Structure 1
Amino acid sequence: MTQHTGGQSGTALAESPADGPMIRIEDLHRSYGTGAAAVHALRGVSFEIPRGELVALKGRSGSGKTTLLNLVGGLDTPDRGSITVAGTELSGLGEDGLLELRRDRIGFIFQSFGLIPILTAAENVGVPLRLRKADPREREERVALLLSLVGLGDHAQQRPGELSGGQQQRVAIARALANRPALLIADEPTGQLDAETGLAVMQLLRAVVRGEGVTALVATHDPQLLGFADRVLELSDGHIVEHA
């Protein structure tokens, strides 16, 4: 699936087959520490996520949800097993290939928002496009479209400190969509929000999956939000338990 160009970090991303799953995980293991003190976060995890689905990942605190998201997003490396994202097997990628994957195919949404305080909402959304050296006119049009999509078209020039928590998370979602990713990875995106705002953000993610044609893997501890998912995966004792 992966096209090899040689060198430690010179592996190119494979073309993503339209009919294959967005995520394929096979026999994934990840431990921290050694000996009796080792923590086995993942023990032989295997699952697939089709394209265009919003999948919720649940589990108690410390169950390995963040570990799994970091592995799928290429931010961490498994001890054993394989991860394929959008047709590319991650173990075949060096650092340059992983950077390209994260930049071009994956959008990240975090509980802490991760916005740059001195930048306006529009400037925050435009950061990924600047890193990609997109044409300024294309960048401005994409930023305006995304802020409109998340309902913040009138807040483009406000800085994060001038926005509510829910509005900041909406800016973060818009930023995650800037480079038209195939996959959104969200780690407790409503964790800092009140219940009503959290529901609104989850509704937005649901609408984004449908409207933008992306796949989303969303970790959440809130049982009220699981109803927005097409499927629920639960992490328990390092294993995945699938729910309807």
Structure 2
Amino acid sequence: MTEPMVVVEALTRTFRTGDLEVPALRGASFTVGAGELVAIKGRSGSGKTTLLNLIGGLETPDGGTVRVNGGDVGTLSEDELLALRRDHIGYVFQSHGLIPVLSAAENVEIPLRLVRTPPAERDERVRVLLGLVGLADHAAQRPYELSGGQRQRVAIARALANRPRLLLADEPTGQLDSETAAAIMPLLRAVVSSEGVTVIVATHDEALLAEADRVLNLEDGVTTETPVPTPG
């Protein structure tokens, strides 16, 4: 039996400010199979971002374990965590995070330059990815020349540059209007199909959940399986 891409077991995380303790996770547990598109829903402040950060090795849990692609994230050294994030995990945030002075193509190729991908291979990968997200004709435009939805598509293409096994998307439609936002989840579905990547997307937008294979509800620090909503 193939091991799941992500295994989360009894994950806990509490934030402390002086004498005040705010539990974010109280024993969250779930698995995500390879090639799945899983949505995590919950109200703002429910801990979705914290959960994604723990899966991606950006934060350290107080208790429990996270396994990604068979490896225990909690046992990795700083160098190993860096390699995991660079080579195996892609990130998409609601704020896009694009570099304003660079074109769409140049933003997408940044991860490829970091790993010294040969120029011809780099150019072809950028071309393929911009085509995948529907921006082949916008390669030379800078972020300020693109709409919010187009900037998010560039961010998705950039996250896929190094062929990650896992894509983590944190409220990727949070700054988009409803019509533009509705196009992002089908795009992530296309990414699962064409790139063979596993996707975990955090959102509280009910309209975006219908594209997911599974939906997990995060409430009071624990996750529970919930039915995928019917479109309409």
Question: Which category of TM-score, normalised to the shorter sequence, fits these structures?
Answer: over 0.9
- Whole-angstrom distance in 1 between the partners of 2:209 and 2:134: 23
- Whole-Å separation in 2 of the counterparts to 1:35 and 1:110: 29
The answer to whether the aligner puts 1:110 opposite 2:122 as a matched pair is no
TM-score (structure 2 length as normaliser): 0.96
Q: Distance in 1 between matches of 2:2 and 2:162?
A: 22
SS in 1 for 2:183: helix
1:46 aligns to 2:38 (yes or no): no
Question: How far does the alpha carbon of each residue in 1:47-94 deviate from its partner, in whole angstroms, 9 at most, with x for none?
Answer: 100111100000111110000000001100001111000111111111
Gaps of 5+ in 2: 228-232
Give 1:51-70 correspondences, 5 Å limit: 51-70=34-53
Distance 1:58 1:143 in 2: 31
Deviates more, 1:71-80 or 1:27-36: 27-36
What TM-score do the two structures reach when normalised by structure 1? 0.91
Paired amino acid for 2:2: D
Question: Could you tell me which residue of structure 2 aligns to residue 37 of structure 1?
Answer: 20
SS at match of 2:90: strand
Task: Give 1:226's aligned residue.
Answer: 209
1:216 paired with 2:174, answer no
| Deviations 1:8-36, CA, capped at 9 Å, x for gaps | xxxxxxxxxx8110000111110010685
State the distance in 2 between where 1:177 and 1:34 align.
36
SS in 1 for 2:101: coil
Rounded to whole Å, the distance in 2 between the matches of 1:214 and 1:180 is: 8
Equivalent position SS for 1:38: strand
2:117 alignment partner, one of 126, 134, 156: 134
Unaligned runs of 5+ in 1: 1-17
Deviations 1:122-158 (A, max 9, x none): 0000000000111111100000010011110010000
Compute the displacement of 1:190 (Å).
0.3
Q: CA deviation at 1:243?
A: 1.0
Q: Distance in 2 between matches of 1:68 and 1:151?
A: 30
The amino acid that maps onto 1:215 is T
From 168, 174, 182, the equivalent of 1:185 is: 168
- Following TM superposition, the consecutive aligned residue runs of length 4 or more in structure 1 with deviations greater than 6 angstroms are none
The letter of the residue matching 1:48 is: T
> How far off is 1:117 after superposition?
0.3
In the alignment, residue 58 of structure 1 is paired with which amino acid? K
2: CA distance, partners of 1:103 / 1:36: 36
Q: Percent identity?
A: 65
CA offsets 1:80-121 (integer angstroms, 9 cap, x no match): 111000111111111110010000000000000000000000
1:104 corresponds to which letter in structure 2? D
Say whether residues 1:169 and 2:127 are aligned partners: no
Q: Secondary structure at the match of 2:224?
A: strand
State the alpha-carbon separation in 1 of the partners of residues 124 and 224 from structure 2. Answer: 42
Tell me how many residue pairs correspond in the alignment: 227
**Match of 1:44, as an amino acid?**
G
